[in-house]
A and B are shown apart, each in its own frame.
Chain A
């Protein structure tokens, strides 16, 4: 059974001030197996980020279903969805999104604190997660004291701290130079290889995408190419 499945997934946005609506994602069917490293690529506006947001329960689909470990995300209320995001999904963003007033350790521990873990246990798990990405020596630093690459590695540590079923990364290298990009991609590859961590990454960079084991290409909201699929849909 795939860890993540989408069935006829669709997302339509109403444009403000006009009667028309825009279909961002249409009829997307995907199966993602545990331990898979999937890259979603496509041009700007192809619907790749919207697809990722639906997979993470950030945006609710207009049609179809997202099943994470067999649970239909659309059927969950806000609190249950928050719990899924907290425990089963890790997020990595292009702009890192670390809270500036917290240290790196506190940022990483935050999902566990939100989940009600005691401070000591959360700190211990956060240190372990930081060590896994090679950032434990910077634990007490604030985000503005870190380089972009270090911040992103911290963000990955935060995404991993709850041992999620899946890590969703939205252009994780988009704000980094090539050396830092390579380091982040390498880190993600290592997580998949060593921890059998499932990673879904959105990127417009073909070099970065090539590091993934599977590549899905989006065009006009549809899956235009899936490297895992024998059959290539005609757009």
Chain B
């Protein structure tokens, strides 16, 4: 016989124990694989959402003082890190005649062939336009007109009228990122020639790769540009999507890290129990002369084998579970194309990690098994937990709390990036888990008093079982503590953030119809200003329009930082469409009318600007010093914004043209405005959306993001229940002798079931309460951690629904998890149980 075969014999004689240990690794690996894959699906969905809102991630090269510029001024940019393609754009309003229909549309000149081959424009039919008399139409427009590939259209340009052949139809979504509002695509040289405007472009859009760091790429591009040109994030595009998704990505990082932590607890607990159950056997082997190293090696080899087997099964299960989860998330995010993403290294990594985690988790119990007093090890009763373990846990909790506090302070001062909140948040949670043994047992004793008196015996025995093994109790409860605190903490954070965004959105955008600039942003300011005023007048004259508010957007610099300049009409009465922080609304209104500015909280946070400060603001190459009247909550461009009253902005910077028009209808007239406003929108190359449409889009975006986070949190509970079920099963196996004894002295089957279920329920309730405290602390922590990101504190409220749902889930998980082990406990043969080691 070799020592290794001792392991095999042990597995064969007690297959349940070995299977439960391997199952714990399978659950843990499965959880990590499925969460990771689901998180990847969410990230992919988020990216698609960002693209839907902001188009392909990009930066714009524009003339500093607005207007068109010579394309030859732009240096080579394709070799900048993160740059996917460089796309010069030329916009031209035009008249299109299709059969008897005459349409005012916006044409965009691009290198269509290059766009298609780079995957930046998708054709639903046909080929890109390359020749002088070729055109590609928006597929939706073409469908409406009944135009197909090969049909001819008349194109009215400044120089001449051209008969052009439709060579292809472009997918509307794929047009949006570079030509929002434009429906006609022509080769750029053709459009320039037809418009008598050679080598000039409106902008050069630099498309970035999906994983590119937008700010780093912008700086790298800006460095190469000559003085008259600037590199900016497209105004009014990426802002809100980026902001919501940045927080959501942080949430995903948090959830996946917590799943890893939960997996550790599950595997750690299984390994601890696996070794603890064989305490006598291992002590006997030591007594017969095995060295500590031999025993440790035995335990480690076992962990590696069980870990490997569990990891293979877990990876398969995880992938199987990830499919439907990812599909559900994709559906929630309205991202149909999000397929299950399985990184090629996922399986081998999962297996290696499963083995590594199992071996690492077995290290401590192996060490304990070789350091326990031989006589205690051989005794029937388990030895009390070593005092040093308690001290170590308390020290660990203290160290992690201090580290979290330090990280919090460093993040508040901007010395650590917001992403550090994930690591420190996990550390805070682990600190809670570390103190769980000290909180849980008194708590369970207290909860034990609530057990009805007719079940007092079962309740008392259940409490004692929990109290006798504090480390194992803490690890089992730790899984639930993490799941509950995760649910409560992130649940609050998600709801608080969503409410904050929706509250802001509700104040900022009050209208029945929204007209937004399509593509032609960079016609000269004077030209656009006059056109914009004309259009506003036309909108005001439409029967049924009660109010029109214009919003102008521009990129600028304040205190050296790129920001969005927002100039908007203030409603003559009623509340301001702003959310001032610690400021009086009438005074803010007066200050804005005087030409002062209000700064977004993030801009203030990053530049150190305070109310009352003078600020040098550069817009369209003109630098003006303005006074900051107040700070406002703003999600535009991530809150890095400076807002002015529109007339004042026109005086200061010449910002006259409205990029957005908010149209409020008279009572009962909202629906009737659609047709006349659509005509005006087409005339002035604007995009018309009803407020309900905009709101639906925002709600879909938010609910998709929230739904995906909730589903991953739910997955945490499923994993938690499997982990708890496994540890309760192992606990029943470990207590085989005690259960046999209880049956022998007269406990009936029903009482045994009650005792096992009560033990699990008490554990679930205790863990739920600790998790509640941890979760609220996590929510508070996330709130603090998000301040540097948002620049303003989030309003945190205790949400009873979230709390109740999580506590109920913890109890349900505990009850369900205990049922099968309890059934198993009553099936144990009394004599066999009594003779168990």
Contact = CB atoms under 8 A, between A and B. Distances in A.
A88 B1 CA distance: 21
A146 interface: no
Nearest to A58: B374
Contacts of A113: 1-3
Interface stretch (A27-35, A101-109, A181-189, A227-235): A101-109
B289 A111 contact: yes
B567 to A, nearest CB: 76
Contact of B291 (A79, A87, A100): A79
A111 B288 contact: yes
Interface string A98-123: 01111001100111011100010011
Interface stretch (B9-17, B442-450, B605-613): B9-17
Nearest to B8: A101
Nearest to B284: A97
A189 B294 CA distance: 34
A37 interface: no
B286 interface: yes
Nearest to A118: B2
B292 A82 contact: yes
A158 B10 contact: no
Interface in B254-297: 281, 284-294
B1 A114 contact: no
Interface in B5-25: 6, 9-10, 12-14
Contacts of B14: 101
Contacts of B284: 97, 99
Interface residues of A, number: 31
A48 interface: no
A86 interface: yes
B292 A97 contact: no
Given A102-B6, A113-B3, A144-B835, A91 B287 contact: yes
Contacts of B1: 102, 105-106, 109-110, 113, 119, 122-123
Nearest to A162: B289
Nearest to B5: A106
Interface string A115-151: 1000100110000000000000000000010000000
B378 interface: yes
A144 B10 CA distance: 14
B375 interface: yes
Contacts of A102: 1, 6, 9
A67 interface: no
Given A16-B384, A101-B14, A123-B1, A110 B288 contact: yes
Contact of A101 (B10, B288, B290): B10
A158 B288 contact: yes
B215 interface: no
Contacts of B2: 113, 119
A100 B837 contact: yes
Contact of B285 (A83, A110, A115, A122): A110
B737 to A, nearest CB: 13
Contact of A78 (B9, B292, B375): B292
A204 interface: no
A66 to B, nearest CB: 15
Contacts of A106: 1, 9
B630 to A, nearest CB: 64
B9 A85 contact: no
A16 B375 CA distance: 16
A99 B281 contact: yes
A79 B289 contact: no
Nearest to B837: A100
| Of listed A53, A82, A106, A109, residue having the most chain B CB within 10 A | A82
Given A109-B1, A122-B1, A123-B1, A99 B289 contact: no
A92 B256 CA distance: 53
A158 B1 CA distance: 14
B385 to A, nearest CB: 12
Nearest to A115: B289
A88 to B, nearest CB: 9
A218 to B, nearest CB: 18
A58 B289 contact: no
Nearest to B293: A79
* Max count, chain A CB within 10 A of own CB: residue among B288, B378, B835: B288
A59 interface: yes
Nearest to B371: A78
A85 B288 contact: yes
Interface string A45-83: 000000001000011000000000000000000110011
Nearest to B11: A101
Contacts of B378: 97
Given A114-B294, A119-B2, A85 B289 contact: yes
B375 A82 contact: no
A100 B10 CA distance: 9
A100 B374 contact: no
B836 to A, nearest CB: 9
Contacts of A158: 288
Interface in B792-837: 835, 837
Contacts of B13: 100-101
Contacts of B375: 53, 58-59
Contacts of B288: 85-86, 91, 110-111, 114, 158
B6 to A, nearest CB: 7
Contacts of A82: 286, 289-292
A85 B374 CA distance: 12
Interface in B112-139: none
Contacts of B3: 113-114
A79 B292 contact: yes
A92 B292 CA distance: 21
Contacts of B286: 82
B289 A86 contact: yes
A138 to B, nearest CB: 16
Nearest to B2: A119
A109 to B, nearest CB: 6
Contacts of B289: 82-83, 85-87, 111, 114-115, 162
Contacts of A99: 6, 281, 284-285
Residue with the highest number of chain A CB atoms closer than 10 Å, among B13, B286, B287:
B287
A86 B375 CA distance: 17
Interface string A14-27: 00100000000000
A144 B384 CA distance: 30
Nearest to A144: B835
A181 B603 CA distance: 90
Contacts of A83: 289, 291
A99 B284 CA distance: 8
Contacts of A79: 291-293
Interface in A140-188: 144, 158, 162
A137 B373 CA distance: 36
Contacts of B292: 78-79, 82
Contacts of B835: 144
Interface in B380-394: 384
B285 A114 contact: yes
Most chain-B Cβ atoms within 10 A of its Cβ — which of A78, A99, A162? A99
Nearest to B10: A101
A8 B290 CA distance: 29
Interface in B481-511: none
A99 B13 CA distance: 11
Given A85-B287, A86-B288, A114-B285, 15 more contacts: A58-B374, A59-B373, A79-B292, A82-B286, A82-B290, A86-B289, A91-B287, A101-B10, A101-B13, A102-B6, A110-B6, A110-B285, A114-B3, A115-B289, A123-B1
12 contacts: A58-B287, A59-B373, A79-B291, A82-B292, A86-B288, A87-B289, A99-B284, A102-B9, A110-B6, A110-B285, A119-B1, A123-B1
Interface of A: 16, 53, 58-59, 78-79, 82-83, 85-87, 91, 97, 99-102, 105-106, 109-111, 113-115, 119, 122-123, 144, 158, 162
Q: Which A-B residue pairs are the 8 nearest by beta carbons?
A: A86-B289, A101-B13, A101-B9, A106-B1, A82-B291, A85-B289, A79-B291, A114-B290
